[in-house]
Amino acid sequence: MNKTLLTLTVIATLSVQNTMAQVKKDSLASAGYGQKVERNFNTIDKNQMNNKDQATNALEAIRGRVAGLTVARNGANALNVVRLRGTTSLTGGNDPLIIVDGVMGDLSLLESVYPTDIESFTIMKDAAETSQYGSRGAAGVIEVTTIRGKAGQMRVNYNGSIGIHQVYKTLKMMNADQYRDYGQQKGISILDLGGNTDFQKEINRTGFWQQHHLAFQGGTEQSNYRVSLGVIQDQAVIKRIQDHTIMTNMNMTQMMFDDLLRIDIGMFGSTGKEQNIFNDQTLFYSAASFNPTFPNHRNSEGNWDGYALASQIGNPLALIEEKDHDEISQISTHVKFTFQLTKDLKFSLFGAYTYNNKNVMQYLPTTVWNKGQAYRSASKTETLLGNALLSYDKNFDIHSLSVMGLAELQQQTYSGHFVTVTNFSTNDMGYDDLSAGALRPWGGTDSYFERPKMVSFLGKVSYTYDGRYTIGATARFDGSSKFGSNNKWGFFPSVSASWNVTKEKFMKNQTLFDDLKVNIGYGITGNQGGIDSYTTLALVQPNGFVPAGNNNLVSFSNLKNNNPDLKWEVSRTINASIDAKMLKGRLVFSLNTYRTWVRDMLYSYPVSMPPFTSPTIVANLGAMTNKGLEFSVGGTPLITKDMELTVNANLAFQKNKLESLSGYYNGEYLTSPTTAGIARMNGAGFHGGNNDVTSNVVGQPLGVFKILRCNGLVYNDALEGYEYKTSSSPEILGQAVPKVLLGSNISFRYKDFDITLQANGAFGHKIFNGTSLTYMDVTAFPLYNIFPEAPKKNIKDQVVSDYWLENGNYVNIDYITVGWRVPLHENRFVQNLRLSLTMNNVATITSYSGLTPMINSSSIDGTLGLDDKRSYPLYHTYTLGVSVTF
């Protein structure tokens, strides 16, 4: 019998506002093209985002607050992974749809939204919620509403923060004395330059960060506005890494013709400059592994010593001189006209234009790259979105009816190019003058262009009887230019029902429940995220020069097979939930269960040649299931005039299973290997064999450890050291994706003082400690540094086995904030003043022996479940914040 593994998420959230719970659940709420729908989603407003003034990315303000929502960061800047209810596709399209004030996009859209400008987040996960977005909603939907202006005299709000980042933990490697002693003890000749350098410390620094945000709002009931400007400057703990971003947001509303016409105009955007390291993973590996007897300065010739001593590392102080500068700008504008045709009938027109531009400039000096290398690229994305919506809302007696129809068109344009130049005689020009180098004879330049389009039609109806029973249905047609000529259109319907139990006669005399609802829904969504506009076409590619007389001509070879039958990857989801509010709102809870069947999965399969002209084809053959249970509870156990305590908890159980990767295509049976490696080990001292760490295995959850079982260490006389005694074939020995996720947020207020603590965690998964495997192998010495305890173990082997497979459980205290709302005593000029002190990345409780257990445990890519000796150093952030309203 198959066992069901479920993922558990606990979220305890406390707001210093007079709010009963972090999760707001209402029977009717505005979501999905601004319509009132019966649904079961989580809404987080600005008062519940306790750390929004210290967050550099909007999603950080809600990390750990919603069951099934994963927001992960690894490093200095961008978020690495955002997932709703885990992974739903093998080829892509696992990021949720992001909607900001009606503008649809990907995660990059939030890079232009200042956290303080956000009014609320709406997280949509269930079938009826996501199906209304068709193929866009396959991985869930995160809707962001920014703050709009209000009637009244002009108000000015300022929010500012300054802080520092301080490294508190790096890998503990041999110092110079230990390095020399071990070499002398074993009779190994080392290149000793007389230094005593901790290269991890040399590339680190105390980082400084600050952000400032100013907002103006005012107007009348007929015309109002809000305009804001924000600046974020963040200097990372790794030298050279920093970014500077300016963001702006504008919302205006104008009522006309006796409120028969409402015009909403909005704009948000950002421009920023980033300084990065060309290859930070190599830098971290080198900083830990490099010979500590080398000095921390250049030699007498002005060069860095020992750059080419080992194949995979270099002198970290030379690597940090590599230049990688990015310039990124994004702007989105939108306008909406809403016509009140009758009391119950509305018609609206919405249009949006989004522009993204990114320039990348890199230079590798001659000290780290043979004769130097310069690289420049420019990429641009433009999105046009428009829709027309007709809605009818009518209440009569005990009946309520809502009907909506929508037509929508979206066009995206992707274009870009790059140039790579080598053979520089001087480093003075860098990437500013590419003519100072020579273009690569092949592969030194390229360009691309793509313009996918999608047309959609949506119909939605909802009926409520006597406030007790609600039924709803949606029907959406999406047509995409990405798919084959035979299957461009997809149909994505949903149905839902809700029962308000507290409205029944038999509940009238009870006093326990203020509100009790039962909901059920079923919906279908499509996915096209894993393919581009050319996946279904037979393509050729340039592959080199061939002589033709006195000239060289570019030759071409087959790149892709055509597949006119390629169609939508489809997910069918059924869910049921119970929502309750008790004890006059002081206790709320919600229980939600769901199951998703993913069919016609988009995946690449090997094919025979002939009849095919290329060795692989993308087809709809695979299958996968996802299922789970989510439980949310929140309450205010203490509330008086001077004190308030609010605690919420949130549990989410989830599991997926890869059902199949085979089937028939045009009469030919196609199958992909039943085991496909995801993350694998490589590096100094690694020998051949099966180095896969995590794999996708048919019949198992995504990302399992199918590796050799270790039965201990045995001494090898020939090696004069220990090697692993392993099983003859790999076994499934655990999974990389946590079975249990934990988040908690507790806040307490006493008069004008408050304190908030948030913690997150994960349980039920394992981590492969590739860092220990690498640095405990003494055969890597002296080209690579090793752990101080490695000589005692005397392991002279590198094999992927469960010897280095550890429990990945952890609880991380994300932040602690102490705040003071300063009494103003009827100040005429200052309406509100609050000071705060925050510590981020406070501490981690874990049995894991590595640097940190908070590695990639959710994204199915080459780092899943693998701690591979390239970790970003751990650091605390201390922030002083101020918020003022004039």
Question: Dihedral sign, CA of 255, 259, 261, 266?
Answer: positive
Taking the C-alpha atoms of residue 318 and residue 321, their distance in angstroms, rounded to an integer, is 5
Residue 144 identity: V
The DSSP symbol for 502 reads: G
Q: Is 140 helix (H, G, I), strand (E, B) or coil?
A: coil
Residue 279's alpha-carbon distances to 116, 369, 613, in angstroms, are 33, 13, 36
Q: Which residues of 580-610 are buried (b: 16+ CB within 10 A; e: fewer)?
A: bbbeeebbbbbbbbbebbbbbbbbbbebeee
Taking the C-alpha atoms of residue 103 and residue 589, their distance in angstroms, rounded to an integer, is 32
**What's the pLDDT score for residue 6?**
30
Would you give the distance in Å from CA 675 to the centre of its chain?
26
Residue 248's alpha-carbon distances to 275, 383, 390, in angstroms, are 22, 19, 31
Taking the C-alpha atoms of residue 534 and residue 557, their distance in angstroms, rounded to an integer, is 16
39 occurs within a structural domain: yes
Judgement on whether residues 630 and 769 belong to the same structural domain of the protein = yes
Residues of the chain under the 70 pLDDT cut: 1-32, 34-41, 50-54, 73-80, 307-311, 683-690
Ramachandran region, residue 692 (left: φ > 0; alpha: ψ -120 to 50; beta: rest) = beta
Residues ≥6 apart with Cβ < 8 Å to 664? 621, 670
The DSSP symbol for 184 reads: H
Taking the C-alpha atoms of residue 886 and residue 875, their distance in angstroms, rounded to an integer, is 35
Taking the C-alpha atoms of residue 523 and residue 574, their distance in angstroms, rounded to an integer, is 7
**What's the pLDDT score for residue 311?**
64
Taking the C-alpha atoms of residue 556 and residue 482, their distance in angstroms, rounded to an integer, is 24
Bridging pattern class, strands 469-480 and 489-500: antiparallel
Token pair 């009132």 is found at 36
Judgement on whether residues 62 and 199 belong to the same structural domain of the protein = no
Taking the C-alpha atoms of residue 245 and residue 108, their distance in angstroms, rounded to an integer, is 14
Residue 740 identity: V
**What's the pLDDT score for residue 858?**
79
* Whether 838 contacts 820, CB under 8 Å: no
Q: Which two tokens stand for residue 566?
A: 């390629």
Judgement on whether residues 185 and 137 belong to the same structural domain of the protein = no
Question: Dihedral sign, CA of 200, 203, 206, 208?
Answer: negative
Judgement on whether residues 52 and 159 belong to the same structural domain of the protein = no
606 occurs within a structural domain: no
Judgement on whether residues 809 and 846 belong to the same structural domain of the protein = yes
Taking the C-alpha atoms of residue 66 and residue 58, their distance in angstroms, rounded to an integer, is 14
Judgement on whether residues 110 and 215 belong to the same structural domain of the protein = no
Ramachandran region, residue 229 (left: φ > 0; alpha: ψ -120 to 50; beta: rest) = beta
Judgement on whether residues 107 and 207 belong to the same structural domain of the protein = no
**What's the pLDDT score for residue 689?**
54
Indicate the helix (H) or strand (E) that contains 383. strand 373-396
Taking the C-alpha atoms of residue 716 and residue 287, their distance in angstroms, rounded to an integer, is 31
Judgement on whether residues 136 and 256 belong to the same structural domain of the protein = no
* Whether 742 contacts 10, CB under 8 Å: yes
**What's the pLDDT score for residue 275?**
93
Residue 301 identity: E
φ, ψ at 60 (rounded to 5°): -65, -25
Residues ≥6 apart with Cβ < 8 Å to 271? 245, 246, 328, 329, 330
Residue 234 identity: D
* Whether 116 contacts 105, CB under 8 Å: no
Judgement on whether residues 109 and 173 belong to the same structural domain of the protein = no
Judgement on whether residues 100 and 206 belong to the same structural domain of the protein = no
Taking the C-alpha atoms of residue 825 and residue 830, their distance in angstroms, rounded to an integer, is 10
* Whether 98 contacts 385, CB under 8 Å: no
Ramachandran region, residue 264 (left: φ > 0; alpha: ψ -120 to 50; beta: rest) = beta
Residue 724 identity: Y
Q: Is 688 helix (H, G, I), strand (E, B) or coil?
A: coil
**What's the pLDDT score for residue 649?**
80
Among 269, 274, 160, CA closest to 210: 160
* Whether 712 contacts 726, CB under 8 Å: no
Number of domains in the chain: 2
Looking at 150, 167, 196, which one is the last position of a domain? 150
* Whether 777 contacts 796, CB under 8 Å: yes
Query: Facing residues of 11 across strands?
Result: none
91 occurs within a structural domain: yes
Q: Which two tokens stand for residue 415?
A: 């274009």
Residues ≥6 apart with Cβ < 8 Å to 258? none
CATH number, domain with residue 51: 2.170.130.10
Token pair 């010979």 is found at 291
603 occurs within a structural domain: no
Structural domain for 117, as ranges:
29-150
Token pair 């090696």 is found at 719
Residues ≥6 apart with Cβ < 8 Å to 298? 304
Token pair 């929140």 is found at 634
Taking the C-alpha atoms of residue 135 and residue 599, their distance in angstroms, rounded to an integer, is 14
Among 100, 628, 616, CA closest to 330: 100
223 occurs within a structural domain: yes
The answer to whether the bond into 611 is cis (omega within 30° of 0) is yes
Judgement on whether residues 712 and 838 belong to the same structural domain of the protein = yes
**What's the pLDDT score for residue 170?**
95
SS (H, E, C) 629-687: EEEEEEEEEEECCCEEEEEEEEEEEEEEEEEECEEEECCEEEECCCEEEEEECCCCCCC
**What's the pLDDT score for residue 308?**
61
The answer to whether the bond into 292 is cis (omega within 30° of 0) is no
Q: State the Cα angle at 48 between 45 and 49, rounded to 5°.
A: 90
Taking the C-alpha atoms of residue 107 and residue 87, their distance in angstroms, rounded to an integer, is 16
584 occurs within a structural domain: no
752 occurs within a structural domain: yes
Looking at 117, 132, 150, which one is the last position of a domain? 150
**What's the pLDDT score for residue 13?**
29
Q: State the Cα angle at 383 between 381 and 384, rounded to 5°.
A: 155
Greatest distance between any 2 Cα atoms in the chain: 97
Judgement on whether residues 90 and 197 belong to the same structural domain of the protein = no
Token pair 């601004």 is found at 34
φ, ψ at 442 (rounded to 5°): -150, 135
Among 541, 542, 635, 532, CA closest to 586: 635
Among 104, 107, 103, CA closest to 70: 107
Residue 638 identity: L
Looking at 123, 150, 177, which one is the last position of a domain? 150
* Whether 553 contacts 546, CB under 8 Å: yes
